[in-house]
Homo-oligomer: A and B are copies of this chain.
């Protein structure tokens, strides 16, 4: 292929629009630049090719024979490219919105609200990816990530979604009748924690407790933890928002809490978002206002 030594493509595009509109001024409007920019692009292209493409003619311009010939080919070429891009865009636009989040968040927060979202935006399909892993946001992959971050290490420039106290929580049948007034006493209870994390021992460390005996920690996926805690299989460290009603009604016991230590925020990948993704983000923001616990 020897089209590698193509002239400046932006100049070609500019000239193509000039040829189409028959005017620098109109072409500039179409391209959202000033006429000076278009004029310079075409001049540079002419210098590169060593041939005049358009000449002044009265109040406007007219193409030279060479210019007209080139314009024809450019039109066909760019149209081909445009069709290819368009087809791709259609595929992309219609792809479901890909969202990743922690299993706990999915079960306790998003899933309960999904029906409402679907009612509001029946045409948008959400694909959830509940995982504790941090998935990279790249084109063609995950569109939106809802992530948890300890508020002690705040992250700049992201949309907070849920700001909540973090609590250690357990079912009444598990904790009843015990003296749990100091952190160290929690070492005797079984902890449930997300696969691949180490929340229990971090919690003790943060409270100045150096474990003097082996902790009982069961690792399991976040979505199962919540039910297990409710059944009384163990205690866990999580957002109060997920258990607010149950705590108020006495169906769960809050053992310790850290004020506003937990923050869930929304992260999107770089670049422009598809309409469907924008709609989901808008809906998320609206939800966020109502749930700052």
Contact = CB atoms under 8 A, between A and B. Distances in A.
Nearest to A83: B73
Interface of A: 1-4, 6-7, 9-10, 12-13, 17, 20, 30-31, 46-53, 64, 66, 69-70, 72-74, 76-89, 91-92, 138-141, 269-274
A85 B70 contact: yes
A153 to B, nearest CB: 27
B81 A50 contact: no
A80 B79 CA distance: 10
A70 B84 contact: yes
30 contacts: A1-B20, A1-B82, A3-B79, A3-B81, A3-B83, A3-B85, A4-B30, A6-B13, A6-B78, A9-B12, A47-B139, A47-B272, A49-B139, A50-B140, A50-B271, A50-B272, A51-B139, A53-B140, A66-B91, A66-B92, A69-B84, A69-B88, A70-B84, A73-B80, A73-B81, A73-B85, A74-B81, A77-B78, A77-B81, A77-B84
A91 B80 CA distance: 25
Given A46-B138, A48-B272, A52-B139, 15 more contacts: A1-B82, A2-B86, A3-B85, A3-B86, A4-B31, A10-B10, A12-B85, A50-B140, A52-B140, A69-B87, A70-B88, A72-B84, A73-B80, A73-B81, A73-B83
